[in-house]
Amino acid sequence: MLKKTFALLFLLVLYSILGYGQNISHYEKIVNTTTNKQKKLTALDSLLKRTYSKDTDAFIKYSLQYIDLAQELDSIELAAKKAMNLQYPLTNYANDPLNAITVINSVLARKYKIKDSLLLGGLYMKRGSANTKVDLKRAIEDYNVALENFSSKDTMNIADTYLFRGQAYSQMGKFVLAGEDFTRAYTMYEDSEEYDYMVYAQQGIISMFSMNGFHQKAKVERDALIEKMKSLGLNQFLSYEYYNQALDYKKMGNRDLEHKALLMAEKSFDQDNSNKSTYIGIHSRLIEYYCEQNQIIEAKKHLDLLEALDFDLSGNPAAELNFLGGKAKYLQTIGNYETALALAKKKLEIAKSLGVEDEIMGTYSFLSEIYYDMGEYKKSIENNQASAAIKDSIYNRSTANALAYYQTLYETEKKEKELVEKSTSISLLEKDNESFKKAMLFGGIAILLGFGLILLYRNQRHLKSNKVLQEKFSQELLISQEGERRRISKDLHDGIGQQLLVIKNKLMSSGDADTKKMVDHTIEEVRAISRDLHPFQLQELGITKAIEYTINQIDENTTLFISAEIDNIDNIFSKEDEVNIYRIIQESLSNILKHAHAEAGKVSIKKFANNILISIRDNGVGFDFAEKYQDVKSLGLKTLLERTKFLKGQMKVTSKKDNGTVLEFQFPL
C-alpha cells in the first residue's frame, strides 16, 4: 500500500513538471513564431505568470521583452506594471540595479500617458528601491516624488514608501528622520489593521539601533514589539525577533544569552506560517554554537534537520548564506577542512553580493580559522587581516553614526525649544494686550489707589536696598571663600604635599613597596584636592586651556560623552573674573555629573564684539527651575547666579523634567 502511495505521488509530481515544461514551450513557440504583436504580448504575459518565483532568469528575460513590446504598442500602463514587478528580481537576484533604473526611466519618459496614481507613484517608489543600491540621496528624492504622486486612496503604498525612505535614511545615518518615517509607516499600517506590515516598520527602528551598536535600545524596542505581537496573535513573527535578539547577543559577546534566545526562536517557530529562511537561520546558528562548545552530536541533529528540509536555497541568498555557514562550521569541527573551505568560500561570495559587512567580516575570520587548521598560516593571516579591516571600518562608521545620532537629537531639541519659546512670547504679548485693556477700564480705580502705590514704592526701595546689601555681602563672601581656598590649596601643596614626598623618598630607600604605594595614592589625593580648591591651571595654562583641560578630564574619566566648541578668551578678563568664570563652568559640569543622569553634554564659549556667551547643555532628566531655586538645600543655582552678578552678567536656565537642561551665561566686555 505504501509503495503504491509513493508511486502515485511520484507520478503527480512528474506530471506537474512535464505540464509546466510543456506550457512554457507552448508559449515560447508563440513568442518566437507569431507576427501578431498583441498575441505575442499575451503569450509573454502567460510566460511571466508561469516563471514568476520559479525561474528568476527566465522571468527577467521575458519581462524585458514584454516591456519593450508594450511600449512599442503604446501600452505604457502595461509596461509600467511589468517594470515595477521586474525591479526586485533585477536589483536583488541579478544584482543589476542600474538596469532596473534604466528600464523604469524608459517608462517614466512617457509618464504623461499614465493616469493611474498607483502606477506613477509606484514607478518612483520602485526606482527609489533600486537606487538604494546605487545612490541613497537619489533614492530619497525618488521616495519624495512617489509620495507627491500617490493619491490619498493609495494608503498602503504611501505607508510602504515611508518604510523604504526610513530604511534609506537609516543607512545614511539620519536616524531621527528615519525614526519619524518608520513611526508614520507603523501608524498607517496599524490604522489599516495591516499588522504584518506594522511589524516590518517596527523592525526597521530596531534594525537601525542594532546596526549602529545601540544594542540596549534595540532590545527595549524588540521586547515591546514581542509583547505587541503576542497581544495581536502575530505568533508567526516571534521566532524572527528572538533570532535577531540572538544575533545581537552574539555581537555583544554574550554567548549564553545568545543560546537561550536561539532556543526561544526554535520553540516559537510556527511550521505553517513562519518564514522558512528564519528556520534555516535559527538551526544554522545553533550548529555554530554547539560546534564551538564541542557538542558535535547536538550540532549534527540540527544539520540533519536542515538537510531534510524541502527548500530551494538558490532562490534565497540570505538563507543559503546561513546554511553554508552552519554546515561549514560542522565540517571544520569534525576535521573535513577541504569541504569546509569550499563552503566557506561560497558563503563569502554570497555575503559580498549581498553587501552584508557583518557576514563578510565573520566569513573572513572563519576562513582564517580553517586555513590555520590546514597549516596554511600565510592565508590564515591574510584572511584575519581582511576581517580586522572590515571590523575597524564598521566600528568607525558606528562611532560616527552614534555621534551623528546624538548631534541630531540636540539640534532637534534646540529647534523644539525655540518653537516653545516663540509660542510663549506670543502668549505673553496677548496677555500684555489684555492687561492694557483692563488698565484703561480701571484707570479711575488706579488713581484712587495712588497713595497705596506710593507706600508700596517706598517699601520696594527698602527691599531693593536690602537686596543690594545682600548681593554685596554674597560677592564679598565669594571673594573671601576663593582666597581661603587658595590659601588652603597652597598649604596642602607646599606643606603636606612636600612632606609626603620626603616620606616617599625615604621609603624608596627602605624598599617598603606597599607603604610607598599608599603614600603615592595619598599624594595624588592631596594634589587632586589642591587642584579642586584652587585651579592652578589658570596660572599655568590660561583660562581657555584650563577649561578645555577640565572638560577633557570629565570626558576621559566619567561615562558622560561631552563635546566642546571654545573660542580663545585669554587676557580678556581680570584674574579674579577668570576664576569666577572657571568656577561657573566647573560647578555647572559638576551638577550635570551629580544630578542630571545625562548621557551627553556640550560646552560652547563664543566671543563676540561686545560680550562673551557661554552655553552648557545636557540631555539629562531636567528639573523645574522655580521649584529648584526655592529649595533651601539647592545652593548650586544660587552660587552660579551670585557669580554671574559679580561679573555683571546674565544667566538663563532652560529646563523641563525629562527634557535636559541648558545653562546660558552672557558677560559684557
Confidence band (pLDDT; 50, 70, 90) for 425?
A: low
pLDDT at residue 309 in the model:
83
Which grid coordinates belong to 641?
547666579
| Selection from 326, 336, 315 nearest residue 363 by Cα | 326
Confidence band (pLDDT; 50, 70, 90) for 441?
A: low
Residue 139 burial by CB count (10 A; 0-12/13-18/19+): exposed, middle or buried? buried
Which grid coordinates belong to 68?
519593450
CA-CA distance, 75 to 279, in Å (whole number)? 43
The one-letter amino acid code at 320 reads E
CA-CA distance, 98 to 105, in Å (whole number)? 10
Half-sphere exposure of 387 (CA within 13 A, CB side): 17
Confidence band (pLDDT; 50, 70, 90) for 433?
A: low
Confidence band (pLDDT; 50, 70, 90) for 9?
A: very low
DSSP 541-607: H-HHHHHHHHHHHHHHHSS-EEEEEE---TTSS-HHHHHHHHHHHHHHHHHIIIII--SEEEEEEEE
Q: Which of 150-159, 314-323, 345-354, 393-402 tops mean pLDDT?
A: 150-159
Q: Quick: pLDDT tens for 154-206.
A: 999 999 999 999 888 877 777 778 888 988 998 998 898 888 888 888 888 88
pLDDT at residue 549 in the model:
87
Q: Is the pLDDT of residue 410 over 50?
A: no
Q: For the structural domain made of 541-669, what CATH number should be given?
A: 3.30.565.10
Confidence band (pLDDT; 50, 70, 90) for 8?
A: very low
User: What number is the average pLDDT over the span 606-620?
Assistant: 93
Residue 338: partners with Cβ closer than 8 Å, 6 or more residues away? none
**Range from 71-85, 301-315, 377-391 carrying the lowest mean pLDDT:** 301-315
Query: Quick one: which H or E segment has residue 90?
Result: none
Confidence band (pLDDT; 50, 70, 90) for 289?
A: very high
User: What number is the average pLDDT over the span 545-562?
Assistant: 88
Residue 182 burial by CB count (10 A; 0-12/13-18/19+): exposed, middle or buried? buried
Confidence band (pLDDT; 50, 70, 90) for 579?
A: confident
User: What number is the average pLDDT over the span 419-439?
Assistant: 58
**Predicted TM-score (pTM) above 0.75:** no
Residue 570: partners with Cβ closer than 8 Å, 6 or more residues away? 542, 543, 544
The residue among 226 and 407 whose pLDDT is bigger is 226
Q: Is the pLDDT of residue 606 over 80?
A: yes
Q: What distances in angstroms separate CA 336 from CA 84, 306, 366, 374, one per listed residue?
A: 46, 19, 14, 10
Alpha helix segments (H runs only) across 132-253: 136-149, 155-172, 175-191, 195-211, 215-232, 238-252
The residue among 111 and 397 whose pLDDT is bigger is 111
pLDDT at residue 473 in the model:
47
φ/ψ of residue 304, rounded to 5:
-60, -40
Instruction: For residue 652, give the 3-state DSSP assignment.
Output: strand
Confidence band (pLDDT; 50, 70, 90) for 412?
A: very low
Q: Is the pLDDT of residue 407 over 60?
A: no
User: What number is the average pLDDT over the span 362-379?
Assistant: 91
pLDDT at residue 627 in the model:
72
pLDDT at residue 550 in the model:
87
Q: Quick: pLDDT tens for 81-103.
A: 999 999 998 988 888 889 999 99
Q: What distances in angstroms separate CA 276 from CA 210, 237, 273, one per listed residue?
A: 23, 11, 9
pLDDT at residue 171 in the model:
75
Q: Is the pLDDT of residue 1 over 50?
A: no
Q: Where are the domains of the chain?
A: 541-669
**Range from 204-213, 283-292, 411-420, 585-594 carrying the lowest mean pLDDT:** 411-420
Residue count (the chain) = 669
CA-CA distance, 139 to 170, in Å (whole number)? 12
Q: What share of the chain in percent tops pLDDT 90?
A: 34
Contact 624, 573 (CB under 8 A): no
Q: Is the pLDDT of residue 10 over 50?
A: no
pLDDT at residue 603 in the model:
95
Confidence band (pLDDT; 50, 70, 90) for 431?
A: low
